[in-house]
């Protein structure tokens, strides 16, 4: 197997804050040399919880440990002449510059940096883009998910909207940024001409709404929250060791409901014979209490895995609601060797962490180095190893 990496030789300068780091990580994990230029006090990500031992510290943030792995660090005060000189010197050696919510972002002149290095690709990630009526607005994952339209479809129609866990809006924007940046870097390699990429997190979220926009364009309908419209047989239910998500009523309800009714009959569940009645083949709206009275005693006697395996056998969609501990023992993830250990030198050396989100055969993903200590890299070596 080759020891080469997919992006070997590509040099990236990252000026990120609480977002933008995943864009840099995707490049770093594919072998690019990524230098994280931090303020003298360190990146805000270093203060993002949770922390090792619940003790905040420069090197104890689990988020920073994940997002900064495979990167190098150099610190500079960009509001000084010396900091600007370091910025321009480092950018002159780079193929890509990623700028998001770095504390000194307002003093970074991307146009001047691109002019000084014509082949440089500069990617700017902001909540609402660099121009337009909302360009001066700040934003976090919650407000951007709302402005991007996702909250209009998340949750039950008679309840408050629900935001997706894990700052997925910010992460989606970083993924869009990485794809656009990589395409621009490849183009710059051929033409010698870089470009400025203006990435709006709001627009990235809009683009991730699947067919919501097309529903209006094609059918004249505005999609709103449904969440199975409180259909009996669909939703989150407790079981012996946690919770499962069941989708027996709802999408394609006739086929899946029939499979579910046959499964319950085979298990000799008291009262389950009524599930074979024709009226249950519809959406079964308003029958939640009756459904739960029959199904919950069965579910509470089964583990998540038993219900999951039963669903696989009978063709009924069931997903265990996994905790982090559950995922570490998940048979599929273990078989795929998805989890890897943090390398030597990390604060939690040997701790399992998420591995590659993709598989490359000739140039495999590898966790090479732990998140760097603040300013560990000598400025003269930045983006030049």
User: What pLDDT is stored for residue 380 in this prediction?
Assistant: 47
Q: 1 pLDDT band (50/70/90 cuts)? A: very low
Supply the pTM of this predicted model: 0.86
Low-confidence winner among 2-6, 142-146, 147-151, 250-254 (lowest mean pLDDT)? 250-254
User: What pLDDT is stored for residue 265 in this prediction?
Assistant: 94
Q: Which residues are within 8 A (CB) of 380 and not within 5 positions of it... i.e. 6 or more apart? A: none
Task: Please tell me whether residue 237 adopts helix, strand or coil conformation.
Answer: strand
- The encoded tokens of residue 364 equal 């495999």
- Residues 35-54 have a mean pLDDT of 93
Q: How far is CA 291 from the centre of its chain?
A: 35
With beta carbons less than 8 A apart as the criterion, state whether 261 and 280 touch. yes
Domains and CATH numbers, the chain: 11-209+337-381 (3.40.50.10540), 231-322 (3.30.1540.10)
Phi, psi of 189 (to 5 degrees): -60, -35
Strand ranges across the sheet with 11-15: 71-75, 33-38, 11-15, 96-99, 121-126, 196-200
The closest of 138, 250, 263, 123 to 197, measured between CA atoms, is 123
Q: 227 pLDDT band (50/70/90 cuts)? A: low
Q: With 60 as the cut, is the pLDDT of residue 270 above it?
A: yes
How much of the chain, in percent, has pLDDT values that exceed 90?
60
Task: Please tell me whether residue 279 adopts helix, strand or coil conformation.
Answer: helix
- Residues 271-285 have a mean pLDDT of 74
Task: Please tell me whether residue 124 adopts helix, strand or coil conformation.
Answer: strand
- The encoded tokens of residue 312 equal 């696989």
């Amino acid at each position: 197997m080759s020891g080469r990496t997919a992006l070997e030789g590509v040099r990236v300068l990252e000026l990120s804050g609480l977002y933008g780091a995943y864009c840099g990580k995707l490049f770093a994990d594919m072998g690019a040399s990524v230098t994280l230029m931090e303020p003298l006090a360190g990146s805000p990500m270093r203060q993002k919880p949770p922390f090792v031992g619940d003790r905040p510290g420069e090197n104890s943030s689990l988020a920073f440990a994940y997002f900064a792995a495979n990167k190098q660090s150099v610190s500079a005060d960009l509001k000084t002449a010396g900091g600007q000189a370091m910025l321009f010197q480092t950018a002159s050696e780079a193929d890509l510059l990623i700028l998001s919510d770095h504390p000194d972002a307002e003093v970074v002149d991307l146009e001047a940096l691109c002019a000084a290095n014509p082949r440089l690709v500069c990617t700017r990630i902001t909540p609402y883009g660099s121009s337009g009526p909302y360009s001066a607005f700040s934003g976090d994952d919650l407000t951007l998910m709302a402005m991007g339209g996702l909250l209009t479809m998340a949750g039950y129609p008679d309840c408050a909207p629900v935001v997706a866990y894990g700052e997925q809006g910010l992460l989606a924007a970083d993924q869009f940024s990485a794809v656009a940046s990589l395409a621009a870097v490849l183009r710059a390699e051929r033409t010698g001409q870089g470009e400025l990429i203006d990435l709006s997190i709001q627009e990235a979220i809009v683009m991730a709404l699947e067919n919501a926009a097309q529903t209006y364009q094609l059918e004249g309908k505005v999609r709103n929250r449904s969440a199975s419209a409180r259909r009996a047989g669909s939703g989150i239910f407790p079981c012996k060791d946690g919770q499962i998500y069941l989708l027996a009523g709802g999408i394609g309800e006739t086929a899946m409901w029939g499979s579910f009714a046959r499964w319950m009959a085979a298990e000799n569940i008291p009262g389950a014979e009524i599930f074979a009645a024709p009226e249950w083949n519809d959406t079964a709206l308003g029958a939640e209490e009756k459904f739960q009275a029959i199904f919950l005693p069965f579910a509470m006697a089964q583990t998540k895995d038993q219900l999951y395996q039963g669903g696989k056998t009978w063709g009924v969609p069931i997903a265990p609601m996994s905790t982090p501990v559950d995922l570490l023992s998940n048979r599929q993830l273990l078989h795929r060797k998805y989890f890897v250990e943090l390398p030597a030198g990390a604060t939690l050396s040997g701790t399992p962490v998420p591995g590659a989100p993709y598989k490359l055969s000739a140039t495999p993903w590898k966790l090479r180095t732990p998140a760097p200590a603040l300013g560990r890299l000598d400025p003269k070596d930045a983006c030049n190893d």
